[in-house]
Structure 1
Amino acid sequence: MQLKASTDYGMRAILYLAAQGTTCSSKDIANDMSIPRDYLIQLAQLLRNAGIIEARPGKHGGYRLAKDPADITVLEIMEALDDDAKQSTRAKRNARKGGAMVQEVKRTYDLIEESMDTFLNSLTVKLLLECANDKEGSKKFLSDRFDEESRRLSELN
């Protein structure tokens, strides 16, 4: 799956801040994570508005996480960075409601979206960092998450 640039850069910045555990300058984040600094500042505004990071002005300022990494989910980050696009997509979907879209296909798509949201909401920044540090266990971890989601979906029927 290819992430949009904003999601990719935003996730990198959040994971970097979580790994550092302290306030980091935009320059350091941009350099260390290969993110264009001007773009990082724009993304940081979205993340700040969502309450995920805090900005500290001044000579020793920068960005830091506003919450514990265990309380920040991948879904939360993605929604913060993609809010405008989601609003546009919802508007387009609502305009099509009375159209020829087959309801069965729509229900299937909604199920895919719900499953992805549930899965992404179960992944926290802390969990991802721990998983990345345990290279052998990371595949097992993801497999277990998929199994949990499969069981949940089968219980819906």
Structure 2
Amino acid sequence: MHFKASVEYGMRAVLYLAEKGSICSSREVADEMSIPRDYLIQLAQLLRNAGIVHARPGKNGGYSLAKDASEISMLDIFNALQNDRLRAERKEAEDASDLLQDITAACSAVEREMEEYMSSITLQNMIERIHGKESDTASGSTRSQTPA
């Protein structure tokens, strides 16, 4: 499964802010996370509207997390950045044939499972995973960890 570019870029930006723990300029985040700056600004607006980041304008402004990293789930970020068009199309399918309704229900069940899993992973879990992976790589091990 691959995320849309907007979701991946948004996750990179928010993880960077969580790792830094301070206000970061859009230029810094864009440069460090390889995100086009204009696109980052658009994504940051969606993340701000969702209450995930604070945006401070001005010379010493930039972005920071609006909450503690342990209070922001990967699902929160995903929902802030995804397009809800597919969900709207599924609702329209409720008036369709029995087979289409059954298929739509099956897709919805998979989506609920994915959402449950993503809601269990916080930014803090991801930061801990990143640091665990770094120390494993430094010792020569490539052990993969699963977030708690």
TM-score range, shorter chain: 0.7 to 0.9
Aligned match of 2:121: 123
SS at match of 2:146: helix
* TM-superposed deviation, 1:131: 1.1
RMSD: 1.7
Q: 2:106 aligns with which of 105, 108, 120?
A: 108
- 1:41 and 2:41 matched: yes
Aligned match of 2:139: none
**Structure 2, unpaired ranges of 5+:** 137-141
**Counterpart-to-counterpart distance in 1, 2:40 and 2:116:** 27
* TM-superposed deviation, 1:36: 0.3
Aligned match of 1:134: 132
Aligned match of 1:89: 86
Aligned match of 2:76: 76
**Structure 1, unpaired ranges of 5+:** 146-157
TM-score (norm. length: structure 2) = 0.87
Higher alpha-carbon deviation: 2-11 or 130-139: 130-139
| Residues 138/16 of structure 1: CA separation in 2 closer, same or farther (3 Å cut) | farther
* TM-superposed deviation, 1:138: 6.8
**Counterpart-to-counterpart distance in 2, 1:140 and 1:19:** 18
Contact kept, 8 Å, 2:129 with 2:145, in 1: the verdict is no
Higher alpha-carbon deviation: 92-101 or 111-120: 92-101
Amino acid at match of 1:90: R
C-alpha offsets along residues 117-144 of structure 1, whole Å, 9 cap, x if unaligned? Answer: 00000000010110121125973535xx
| Residues 138/74 of structure 1: CA separation in 2 closer, same or farther (3 Å cut) | farther
| Residues 106/20 of structure 1: CA separation in 2 closer, same or farther (3 Å cut) | same
Query: Percent of aligned positions with the same letter in both sequences?
Result: 46
**Counterpart-to-counterpart distance in 2, 1:79 and 1:2:** 15
| Residues 107/29 of structure 1: CA separation in 2 closer, same or farther (3 Å cut) | same
C-alpha offsets along residues 27-59 of structure 1, whole Å, 9 cap, x if unaligned? Answer: 000001000000000000000000000011111
Higher alpha-carbon deviation: 52-61 or 93-102: 93-102
* TM-superposed deviation, 1:89: 1.8
Paired positions, count: 140
**Counterpart-to-counterpart distance in 1, 2:8 and 2:87:** 22
